[in-house]
Structure 1
Amino acid sequence: MRSGAPNSSCGYPGHPTGMDMPALMRGARVLLFVVGGLQLTVGVLVAGLFAGLVANAGGSIADAVAVVSVLLGLGALSIILGTKFATGGGGVRVTTMVYASLMIVACLGSLGLGDGFGLIFTGGPVIGLACGGFILALMVTAQAGAWFHRPR
């Protein structure tokens, strides 16, 4: 507990959990926000790039919309998961582990194929692999289990 107020863990008295978020969970949360921000940024950049290519070459707009939708959707999911860390239960933890696992698989596939598929996860396969590995490693710790299964 913090020393400012009795029974306070989140800055206000009477917070029901009585415990602070572990540092490992704060680290995973920050990584989710960073990954989400990168995905949203790359999504906007890809949207502009595809809009220019479609306008110049008369290509398929459906492909551009699909890629941009996936990027923006994954970015939003990452940020939503990060925000749910403070109040979420086991479902948030499991969803975060699945999300990080899919990120690792996509980035390994991208490294193996040598194509731009890793662009979907954070703009590059090496960055995505590192972030996904860290997030997954932090989610499988005992502190994560205790945090997400605490009484609310």
Structure 2
Amino acid sequence: MSFGDPNNPYGPPPGQQPGYPQGQQPGYPQGQQPGYPQGQPGYGYPQQQPPGYGYPAAPAPQSYGGAPMMTTMPGTVSAARILLWVIVALQLLGVALFAFSAATIQAAKNGSLDNEAAFEQLKNYSTGALWGFTVFALAWGVFALMLAVKFNTGGNGVRVAAMIFGIITAVLGIYPFIIVGLIHTVLGILIAVFVGNANGNAWFNRARY
């Protein structure tokens, strides 16, 4: 008996290979199509992507030597720098006032203001001391300017210098410049606190590229 005979009544139905159930191709397990590995979709169907595919992974925090990379100055440190600029402006104002006072007293002592009774008492003041205050106010303003400029690039040395500057400024505001130095006292305390806290320590000791 031959299964290949189309007239054989006991042979398989037309279009079916002998020995295999209808609808299943020979040589492939049930549910698997020829030409594709088991469990893989056929041609033309996109494969399922893992979760998060197509979205960039969150960048890991950069670090160098165990210290975090910081690119933005903390608010308190930025406030300390602004206060330094305020002190620079006040120092320039003080330089102008001390210089004007010294020049006025010198003119009174030279007799240029003899006709002005209001300036007679100025002769009792020392012009040397006023010129000394003028130079000191200018030097202190330059010091504050240098610190403010170095806040972006300076390291821990700038932080320590700013703390010392703030403390000395606060003390000088109490004595001997108590009349005009109360504002300096407040500003100096704030500067020392802002650069001496944790944010100041992290900023001035941050890792550098």
TM-score, reference length from structure 2: 0.56
Rg (Cα) greater in structure: 2
**Paired residue type of 2:109:** A
Q: Judging changes above 3 Å, is the alpha-carbon distance between structure 1 residues 105 and 89 closer, same or farther for their aligned structure 2 residues?
A: same
Show the counterpart of 1:41: 93
Q: Which one has the bigger helix percentage? A: 1
Q: Does 1:68 align with 2:137?
A: no
Show the counterpart of 1:84: 150
Q: Judging changes above 3 Å, is the alpha-carbon distance between structure 1 residues 142 and 18 closer, same or farther for their aligned structure 2 residues?
A: closer
CA distance in 2, matches of 1:67, 1:45: 10
Deviations 1:62-90 (A, max 9, x none): 32321111000001111110111001111
Equivalent positions of 1:1-152 (< 5 A) are 19-58=71-110, 61-110=127-176, 117-118=177-178, 124-152=180-208
Q: Is the 8 A contact 1:31 1:135 kept in 2?
A: yes
**Paired residue type of 1:151:** A
Cα distance, 1:99 vs structure 2: 0.7
Please give the root-mean-square deviation of Cα atoms over the aligned residues, in Å. Answer: 1.8
Q: Which runs of 5+ in 1 are unaligned?
A: 1-16, 111-116
Cα distance, 1:61 vs structure 2: 4.6
Cα distance, 1:19 vs structure 2: 1.1
CA distance in 1, matches of 2:78, 2:163: 15
Q: Is the 8 A contact 2:85 2:144 kept in 1?
A: yes
Q: Is the 8 A contact 1:40 1:76 kept in 2?
A: no
TM-score, reference length from structure 1: 0.75
Equivalences, count: 126
CA distance in 1, matches of 2:96, 2:174: 24
CA distance in 2, matches of 1:18, 1:149: 10
Q: Is the 8 A contact 2:151 2:158 kept in 1?
A: yes
Q: Is the 8 A contact 2:70 2:206 kept in 1?
A: no
Q: Which runs of 5+ in 2 are unaligned?
A: 1-68, 111-122
CA distance in 1, matches of 2:173, 2:128: 24
